[in-house]
Amino acid sequence: MNHVKAAPAAELPLLIPPRPKLRLDPRYLPLTVTLGLFVAMFGAGSYAFDGFFSLQVFLNLFIDNSFLVITAIGMTFVIISGGIDLSVGSVIALTTMVLAALVENQGWSPALAIPLVLIMGAAIGFIQGFVIHFFELQPFIVTLAGMFLARGLCYLISINSIAITHSFFTEVSAIRFPLPFDSSISINVVIALAVFAGALYLAHYTRFGRTIYAMGGNEQSALLMGLPVARTKILTYTFSGFCSALAGVSFTFYMLSGYGLHAQGMEMDAIAAAVIGGTLLTGGSGYIAGTLAGVLIYGTIQTLIMFEGSLSSWWTKIVIGLLLLVFCLFQKVFERLTQRRGAARPA
């Protein structure tokens, strides 16, 4: 179940019957399927529509979904740790709202307001993690309350949308980094990729990351192993809260407004991206890279529907739901296969 430590590749032939050398490590199977699906979908789009196959269309997947990348990465950490965070969407909304209110209505400098909202997001995550750990409550119900709270706070600030006209935001949102073939990316993509790189490092090369995997695999044994479960669990939710706030900031650059209805249902999109990316919702297994692939698939579906023209936006939901179903069933089958193999091993 727990894939924290890679078994040395050389030992594998001893345990299982010899097979062709280029065999894929089964642990990477879900990730490969996800990547393969993305390539297939993008390929199908390129085949079906003129102008689909271009670097800019590919980069637009990042530009239009950078905040989803950031949120989903935070969510992936939480899910790997064996929890769930339903508050992410409303924390994004709250961030945009607080940012807009501070900058536009109170005349704060963005240099002060942005760090403040980031701290606020992290603090919300911290409190949720604290309550989940110390009262031994289900993450589901605590973050649900967090979701209510953050949305409610949005409406306390204002029930209307606050447009942002501050020069810092308009200028930052207009920045485009040119790339070859007449393409460019926005600053949000840079933020998202930075978060992605940081998350890769955090998940696979630090003690914190390993503890999260261990905790998600089996919290009891992680505790018995002497791992700092309490600290890690609270930090995981804090990280997710921080990611949501950062996604909120990047969402503000994208939308140039603060609104209580922003990012409605984003928590489900983030969960879907993580699951499609091969993260097991039971915890203990998953890849940050898979989540990025999940978001790309999500973006590709939207782009395909946009290029098709006659399909309505709700088809996105239906296709995402079906993909979720397929991946969950696939994971179930996969889980059963690996369990059977694991059970057969001692014999």
Partner 1 sequence: MTSPSAQRGQTRDSSALRNLAKARIFWPLVTLALLLLFNLVTNPAFFSITVRDGHLYGSLIDILNRASPLMIIAMGLTLVIATHGIDISVGAVVAISGAVAATMIGGQLVLEGGMKDVTLYPLPAVIAVSLAVAMLLGMWNGLLVSYFGMQPIIATLILLVTGRGLAQLITGGQIITIYYSPYYFIGNGFVAGIPFSLFIVAAVLGVLLLLTRKTALGLFIEAVGINPVAARFSGVRARAITFWVYAFCGLCAGIAGLIVSSNVKSADGNNAGLLFELDAILAVVLGGTSLGGGRFTLTGGVLGALIIQTLTTTIYAAGVAPEVTLVVKAGVVFLVSILQSDKVRNRLASLGRPREALS
255 binds partner 1 (CB under 8 A): no
Question: For residue 335, how many other CB atoms are within 10 A of its CB?
Answer: 14
316 binds partner 1 (CB under 8 A): yes
Q: What is the dihedral of CA 192, 205, 87, 135, to 10 degrees?
A: -160
297 binds partner 1 (CB under 8 A): no
Size of the site for partner 1 (CB under 8 A): 42
154 SS3 class:
helix
State the Cα–Cα distance between residues 260 and 151, nearest whole angstrom: 6
Helix axes 187-205, 55-80, angle to 10 degrees: 40
268 binds partner 1 (CB under 8 A): yes
Segment near partner 1 (CB under 8 A), from 30-38, 251-259, 268-276, 339-347?
268-276
State the Cα–Cα distance between residues 16 and 22, nearest whole angstrom: 15
C-alpha to C-alpha distances, 86 to 79, 102, 129, nearest whole angstrom? 11, 26, 12
DSSP 211-259: HHHHHHH-HHHHHHTT--HHHHHHHHHHHHHHHHHHHHHHHHHHH-EE-
Nearest distance, CB of residue 151 and partner 1, angstroms: 5
Closest CB to partner 1 among 151 and 166? 151
Of 26, 36, 43, 152, the residue at the interface with partner 1 (CB under 8 A) is: 152
Determine contact, residues 110/169, Cβ cutoff 8 Å: yes
State the Cα–Cα distance between residues 324 and 321, nearest whole angstrom: 5
x-or-dash string of contact with partner 1, 81-120, rule CB under 8 A: ---x------------------------------------
Nearest distance, CB of residue 131 and partner 1, angstroms: 7
Of 38, 113, 151, 211, the residue at the interface with partner 1 (CB under 8 A) is: 151
Closest CB to partner 1 among 50 and 136? 136
Nearest distance, CB of residue 97 and partner 1, angstroms: 12
Question: For residue 177, how many other CB atoms are within 10 A of its CB?
Answer: 11
Segment near partner 1 (CB under 8 A), from 17-25, 173-181, 221-229, 313-321?
313-321
CA-closest candidate to residue 132, choices 262, 46, 12, 229: 229
Helix axes 288-308, 314-344, angle to 10 degrees: 150
Segment near partner 1 (CB under 8 A), from 22-30, 152-160, 190-198, 298-306?
152-160
Nearest distance, CB of residue 317 and partner 1, angstroms: 3
Segment near partner 1 (CB under 8 A), from 190-198, 210-218, 288-296, 324-332?
324-332
Site for partner 1 in 269-288 (CB under 8 A): 271-272, 275, 281-282
149 binds partner 1 (CB under 8 A): yes
CA end-to-end span of the chain, whole Å?
A: 19
Of 175, 322, 339, 341, the residue at the interface with partner 1 (CB under 8 A) is: 322
109 SS3 class:
coil
Nearest distance, CB of residue 294 and partner 1, angstroms: 13
202 SS3 class:
helix
Of 155, 177, 201, 205, the residue at the interface with partner 1 (CB under 8 A) is: 155
Q: Using CB under 8 A as the criterion, which residues of the chain lie in contact with partner 1 when the complex forms? A: 84, 131, 134-138, 140-142, 144-149, 151-153, 155-156, 159, 268, 271-272, 275, 281-282, 312, 314-318, 320-322, 324-325, 328-329, 332
